[in-house]
A and B are shown apart, each in its own frame.
Chain A
């Protein structure tokens, strides 16, 4: 990429970032325009990626080479588009039937194995005789806490028995485990959001250099100027309306 395009890209990136952040002060036309541009650019990127990296090498080129088998999945895929035409929308059922059939066949057994059976196994395994005989105290305690939390949370979500007595106590412990999870998840979420914000600031700092002709500074100053002018013009307008 040439130096000019790099600088231009820096100005666009800095501008769009600042326009989106400007919403934190108040809604404005720059934010609105950037919001729409984001959606359009995102869809455009996905479209060209699918066109050049999937459609052309996987459909167009095999067809040109005389491999007509690719027409079967292509037609099934294209049948989904008939959803947009009510008179022939029934054709899409063939595509959906295929997706449902192979999707269910792949997903159901593996989900049961990965997220159900293996998790039960993982909870029990620290207490197997072979494991206990060679384990030290801390892994056993860790396993016991995980197993206790697992059972108590399941009890909390078991609604067919009235929650009183021992069931209520177990269910209350289950709530505490859930709260611990939510706390950890929330803490991580805050850290994640700060990381993303830091990433944008890091880029804005990069674009504020002389190499990019102070893109961040210039756009930020222009944005502040816009808000100052907008503040005074809107006040003037309000005063005129009040006077009328």
Chain B
């Protein structure tokens, strides 16, 4: 028995990679439909915040993620955008991350196709171009955004667009949401949220989710969506099942495998030590 356990503890790690691959791929081919029952309170807070906004309120969504964090953050962006459009809010999208421009284009193509087919570009939503130097951009957004953004991402002047009617700075907007895999949410909280009393919420990767707890406690963040689980929670709240929800099957199976391996390895170590 002892020799057998020692052999098992020295198992080729590539076999564990293979098992993990099979567990993650299986639900893609054959979805299990495991329920997503426990919704995060901070996700519900963001949902309620958007629900409480009057129609035609302008919200600003900063999509600051690149392809490296796409699987976690893109479903969040789609779900929040879908909810905002459904609530008839005016939406402005921008990015402070050069790697995100292609992903925003993808979202821009999806809005008329399946996210909100009835919405009109320039009247209901707008996409602003990438700008470098986040600190300068965020400070300017609090004073006069037209000084920083005079044209949209296609080069069309934004001053006369209906979507910007009555909007001069973040003080005229109802909510800001920064979806990012970097520290840009910290910048948004400090340079627009706190400085200009602009209500802010965030969408972050699971890795950085725990670090934003203090901002939720103080009310500096009105809500937070964390990782693919957060995206699945938001999809559950709006009643649309997409990439976030379909990922829950795979995540549940993978977590089950990790917990099982940890317990088994510990039991084996105890066996070797005491028996």
Q: List the interface of chain A (C-beta within 8 A of B).
A: 24-25, 42, 45-46, 49-50, 53-54, 57, 103, 106-107, 110-111, 113-115, 118-119, 121-122, 125, 146, 181, 184-185, 188-192, 194-202, 205
Contact = CB atoms under 8 A, between A and B. Distances in A.
A195 B29 contact: no
Contact of A192 (B205, B217, B250): B205
Interface of B: 14, 17, 20-21, 24-25, 28-29, 68-72, 98-99, 101-102, 129-132, 135, 139, 151, 153, 155, 186, 189-191, 193-195, 205-207, 209-211, 214, 217-220, 226-229, 243, 246-247, 250-251, 254-255, 258
Given A49-B130, A54-B130, A202 B227 contact: no
Contacts of A110: 190-191, 194-195
Given A122-B218, A195-B228, A201-B21, A50 B71 contact: no
A190 B243 CA distance: 19
A24 B102 contact: no
A119 B130 contact: no
Contacts of A192: 72, 205-207, 227
Contacts of B190: 110-111, 113-115
Contacts of A57: 129, 151, 155
A45 B191 contact: no
Given A114-B190, A114-B220, A54 B251 contact: no
B71 A185 contact: no
Contacts of B250: 194, 198, 201
A118 B209 CA distance: 19
Contacts of A195: 71-72, 206, 227-228, 247, 251
A196 B71 contact: yes
B101 A53 contact: yes
A183 B232 CA distance: 23
A194 B27 CA distance: 13
Contacts of B229: 191
B171 to A, nearest CB: 17
A50 B255 contact: no
Per DSSP, are chain B's interface residues mostly helix, strand or loop, or mixed? helix
B218 A119 contact: yes
Contacts of A122: 214, 217-219
A185 B20 CA distance: 21
B181 to A, nearest CB: 9
Contact of A202 (B28, B214, B218): B28
Contacts of A115: 190
A122 B25 CA distance: 44
A181 B210 contact: yes
B218 A121 contact: yes
Given A45-B98, A185-B211, 12 more contacts: A54-B131, A106-B191, A110-B194, A114-B193, A188-B210, A191-B206, A195-B206, A195-B228, A195-B251, A196-B68, A201-B25, A201-B250
A76 B169 CA distance: 27
A198 B151 CA distance: 37
Contacts of A25: 14
A189 B207 contact: yes
Chain B CB within 10 Å, residue with most, of A25, A111, A197, A199: A199
A221 to B, nearest CB: 16
A188 B211 CA distance: 11
A201 B26 CA distance: 10
B210 A184 contact: yes
A198 B247 CA distance: 7
A53 B135 contact: no
A53 B129 contact: yes
A101 B209 CA distance: 32
Contacts of B135: 103, 106-107
Contacts of A125: 218
Contact of B207 (A42, A45, A188): A188
Contacts of A119: 214, 218
A188 B209 contact: yes
A50 B98 contact: yes
A13 B69 CA distance: 16
Given A57-B151, A188-B227, A191-B206, A46 B99 contact: yes
A199 B205 CA distance: 13
Contacts of B70: 199
